[in-house]
């Protein structure tokens, strides 16, 4: 964690007029106090970060500001005038735009139609002008450095591109206040860099940007000010020159978090999975895999590093029988050759996959917390065809404790949980299947610093109990903390296999860009 760096933007900020004030905001969902007497203010031309642990109330506060939640107590003052939004459209008309944490796009519509939804451009005859909208969308993607086709259907895009569409949608209309709720959780480093440049341009032009992220380096690269919430209450608000990352984390969690470190494990058990010459033919828009060979032993955590598009997700999907095309090569599980054509076959053989895209692949939004957690093991809770609610309830209650899931209880709707707590439910679901091989794809995306430490400790404990774990992450410090060994992929090929003792961010990045360098050289 780095110290705060003073910037020119922070100087004299207090002279800039306050554009937004939220006063005494209280919001309850049933018995849950999501927000209690919270205040927040932001000025013109600043990036103001909103920090807090999972479930602290960040998204709820911003949904209130964006008109997505209208029944609350308190007051919103914009440019000195009290406003009362009846819905998102009112907020947009007042210049407030939001990029939602859980993407809010219509999968069956094109990218351009999503961006202009409800604000379609029309021809002089009053007809919807698709060409004009596509042209403006294309220009926006150019500015964002994202090669996305405005005519593609949103449902066909990978999650990172969907996030770029959501960003483009918010940027398309000039906003006085732009709310970004974890905008970078699924996009690549180069896309993040572009986005930050756009954010800086907007700040210079006077836009107020409210930025939510669990990544402290982003918060301290971008912000002029920081406000921290804890358990639905206001804790502190400070300009960046008055605080540093360690201070913000202390405000967030109300205690010191010990830096985590685990000894890499040299002594491990027998080989759980071994892969020889695994290849996956290329598919439109998806990376291929070529000729991968490696193995993972019981008790071992193997990290998979690589840039976006290197094939990390594809590798895990191939091991889980979830590839969109047929892989070739040999996969052995516990010494036996397996050929999974469907995930249920992999699950039956003791393989579990925690996916990166919780909304479309992992969560069942109509169901309760308990149902989402027990889903993969429902068969075992069934007794003569009836689900044993008691067995299910006990297992779920234990998971809620083990993973510190913040919820009113198993019967709560899954959608009532904050984003990070939803992610923990998916991890809990797969842990209940007690897999031999646990595949984790970006397991801590959207998870706060304190809960991340809990999840690392949990992963380590599972490995110590004999599970073999293969885990991807785009955060190198994370891989360097938990992995015993790191595989590096570049363009679907294995370019390095590095024991943790020798692994550094540099050695990994070198291997992750190996072929790319040659291409550009």
Ligand X SMILES: Nc1ncnc2c1ncn2[C@@H]1O[C@H](COP(=O)(O)OP(=O)(O)OP(=O)(O)O)[C@@H](O)[C@H]1O
**Closest CB 463 distance from Mg ion, rounded Å:** 29
Number of residues near ligand X (by CB under 6 A): 21
Residue nearest to Mg ion (CB): 59
Concatenated DSSP letters for 323-392? -SS--EEEEEETTEEE--SSHHHHHHTTEEEE-S-IIIII--TTSBHHHHHHGGGHHHHEETTEE-HHHH
The partner in contact with residue 416, picked from ligand X, Mg ion, none with C-beta cut-offs of 5 to 8 angstroms by kind, is ligand X
Closest to 145 (Cα-Cα) out of 308, 350, 363, 361 = 308
Residue 101 binds Mg ion, judged by CB under 5 A: yes
- Spatial separation of the C-alpha atoms in residues 321 and 344, rounded to whole Å: 8
CB 103 within 8 A of CB 163: yes
User: Among ligand X, Mg ion, none, what binds residue 136 when CB lies within 5 to 8 Å by partner kind?
Assistant: none
| Sole binder of ligand X in the list 54, 213, 237, 374 (CB under 6 A) | 54
Is position 513 an interface residue for ligand X (rule: CB under 6 A)? Answer: no
Could you give the CA distance from residue 354 to residue 445 in angstroms, rounded to a whole number?
A: 11
Q: Does 451 bind ligand X (CB under 6 A)?
A: no
Q: How far is the CB of 406 from ligand X (least distance, A)?
A: 5
Work out which of 34, 376, 479, 496 binds ligand X, going by CB under 6 A: 34
What is the distance between the alpha carbons of residues 160 and 157, in angstroms, rounded to a whole number?
A: 8
What are the phi and psi torsion angles at 239 (to 5°)?
-80, 160
Query: What is the SS3 assignment for 378-398?
Result: HHHHEECCEECHHHHHHHHHH
Yes or no: say if 451 and 53 are a contact pair by the CB < 8 Å rule: yes
Q: Provide, rounded to whole angstroms, the least separation between the CB of residue 186 and Mg ion.
A: 14
Cβ-proximal residues to 353 (8 Å cutoff; 6+ apart), any chain: 316, 317, 319, 320, 322, 343, 346, 430, 439, 440, 441
Strand ranges, E, within 68-186: 73-78, 81-83, 96-99, 177-181
Picked from Mg ion, ligand X, none, the partner binding residue 55 (CB below 5 to 8 A depending on kind) is ligand X
Give the footprint of ligand X on residues 10-29 (CB under 6 A): 29
Q: Is 49 in the site for ligand X (CB under 6 A)?
A: no
Q: Does 372 bind ligand X (CB under 6 A)?
A: no
Q: Is 96 in the site for ligand X (CB under 6 A)?
A: no
Pick from 443, 432, 470: which is nearest to 331 by CA? Answer: 470
- Interaction of residue 279 with ligand X, rule CB under 6 A: no
Position 513 contacts Mg ion (CB under 5 A): no
Q: Which residues, 60 to 89, sit near ligand X by CB under 6 A?
A: 60
Residue list 110-129, contact with Mg ion (CB under 5 A):
none
Q: Measured from the CB atom, is 14 or 415 closer to ligand X?
A: 415
Bridge-partner residues for 369, per DSSP?
A: none
Q: Which is nearer to ligand X, 215 or 265 (CB)?
A: 215
58 binds ligand X (CB under 6 A): yes
Residue of the chain from 419, 435, 443, 492 that contacts Mg ion (CB under 5 A): 419
- Interacting partner of 262 out of Mg ion, ligand X, none (Cβ under 5 to 8 A depending on kind): none
The site partner of 29 among ligand X, Mg ion, none (C-beta below 5 to 8 Å per kind) is ligand X
The CB-of-176 to Mg ion minimum distance in angstroms stands at 22
What are φ and ψ of residue 23, in 5° steps? -120, 135
Binder among 56, 157, 468, 496 for ligand X (CB under 6 A)? 56
Helix (H) or strand (E) holding 506: helix 505-512
* Residue 238, C-beta contacts closer than 8 angstroms, at least 6 positions apart: 225, 226
Structure tokens given for 379: 């068969």
Integer Cα distance of 52 and 60 in angstroms:
12
Q: Could you tell which of ligand X, Mg ion, none binds residue 10, using a CB distance below 5 to 8 A set by kind?
A: none
Binding characters for Mg ion, 431-460, by CB under 5 A (x = yes) = ------------------------------
Which of 59, 372, 474, 483 binds ligand X (CB under 6 A)? It is 59
252 vs 304, which CB is nearer to ligand X? Answer: 252
184 is an interface residue for ligand X by CB under 6 A: no
Q: How far is 205 from 75, CA to CA, in rounded Å?
A: 27
452 interacts with ligand X by CB under 6 A? no
Would you count residue 32 as binding ligand X (CB under 6 A)? yes
Residue 251 or 381 having the CB closest to Mg ion: 251
Residue closest to 497 by CA, chosen among 265, 292, 310, 320: 292
Distance between CA atoms of residues 20 and 17, nearest Å: 9
Number of residues counted as binding Mg ion (CB under 5 A) = 3
Nearer to Mg ion, 229 or 298 (CB): 229
- Which residues inside 407-426 make contact with ligand X, applying CB under 6 A? 415-421
Task: Looking at residues 383 to 412 of the shown chain, list those that interact with ligand X (rule: CB under 6 A).
Answer: 406
Tally Cβ neighbours within 10 Å of residue 30.
Answer: 9
- Least distance CB 257 / Mg ion (angstroms): 20
- CB 181 to ligand X: min, Å: 7
Contact positions with ligand X (CB under 6 A) in 232-271: none
- Which residue is it, tokens 């358990």? 231
The residues binding ligand X (CB under 6 A) are: 29, 32, 34, 52, 54-60, 101, 406, 415-421, 448
The residues binding Mg ion (CB under 5 A) are: 59, 101, 419
């Amino acid at each position: 964690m780095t110290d705060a760096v003073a910037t020119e933007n922070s100087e004299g900020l207090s002279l800039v007029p306050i554009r937004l004030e939220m006063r005494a905001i209280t919001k309850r969902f049933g018995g849950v106090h999501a927000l209690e007497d919270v205040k927040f203010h932001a000025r013109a031309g600043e990036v103001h970060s909103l920090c807090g642990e999972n479930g602290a109330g960040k998204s709820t506060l911003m949904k209130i500001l964006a008109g997505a939640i209208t029944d609350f107590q308190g007051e919103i003052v914009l440019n000195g005038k009290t406003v009362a939004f009846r819905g998102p459209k009112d907020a947009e008309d007042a210049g407030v735009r939001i990029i939602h944490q859980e993407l809010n796009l219509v999968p069956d519509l094109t990218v351009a139609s999503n961006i202009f939804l409800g604000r379609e451009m029309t021809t002089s005859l009053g007809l919807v002008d698709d060409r004009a909208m596509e042209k403006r969308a294309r220009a926006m993607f150019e500015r964002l450095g994202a090669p996305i086709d405005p005519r593609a259907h949103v449902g066909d895009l990978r999650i990172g591109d969907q996030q770029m569409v959501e960003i483009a949608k918010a940027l398309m209309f000039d906003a006085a206040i732009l709310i970004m709720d974890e905008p970078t959780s699924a996009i690549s480093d180069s896309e993040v860099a572009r986005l930050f440049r756009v954010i800086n341009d907007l700040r210079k032009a006077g836009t107020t940007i409210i930025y939510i992220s669990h990544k402290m380096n982003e918060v301290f690269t971008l912000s002029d000010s920081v406000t921290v919430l804890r358990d639905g209450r206001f804790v502190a608000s400070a300009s960046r020159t008055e605080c540093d990352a360690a201070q913000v984390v202390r405000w967030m969690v109300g205690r010191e978090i010990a830096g985590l470190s685990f000894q890499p494990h040299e002594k491990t058990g027998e080989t759980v999975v071994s892969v020889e010459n695994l290849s996956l033919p290329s598919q439109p828009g998806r990376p291929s895999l070529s000729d991968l060979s490696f193995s993972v032993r019981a008790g071992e955590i193997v990290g998979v590093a690589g840039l976006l598009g290197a094939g990390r997700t594809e590798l895990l999907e191939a091991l889980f029988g979830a590839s969109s095309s047929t892989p070739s090569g040999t996969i052995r599980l516990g010494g036996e050759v397996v050929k999974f054509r469907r995930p249920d076959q992999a699950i039956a053989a003791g393989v579990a996959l925690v996916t990166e895209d919780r909304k479309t692949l992992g969560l069942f939004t109509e169901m309760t917390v308990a149902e989402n957690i027990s889903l993969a093991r429902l068969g075992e809770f069934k007794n003569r065809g009836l689900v044993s609610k008691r067995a299910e309830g006990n297992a779920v209650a234990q998971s809620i404790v083990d993973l510190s899931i913040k919820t009113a209880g198993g019967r709560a709707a899954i959608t009532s949980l904050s984003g990070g707590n939803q992610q923990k439910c998916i991890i809990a679901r797969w842990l209940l299947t007690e897999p031999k091989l646990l595949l984790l794809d970006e397991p801590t995306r959207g998870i706060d610093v304190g809960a991340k430490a809990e999840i690392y400790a949990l992963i380590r404990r599972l490995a110590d109990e004999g599970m073999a774990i293969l885990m991807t992450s785009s955060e190198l410090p994370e891989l360097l903390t938990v992995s015993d060994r790191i595989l590096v992929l570049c363009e679907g090929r294995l370019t390095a296999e590095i024991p943790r003792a020798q692994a550094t961010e540099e050695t990994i990045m070198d291997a992750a860009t190996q072929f790319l360098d040659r291409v550009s050289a």
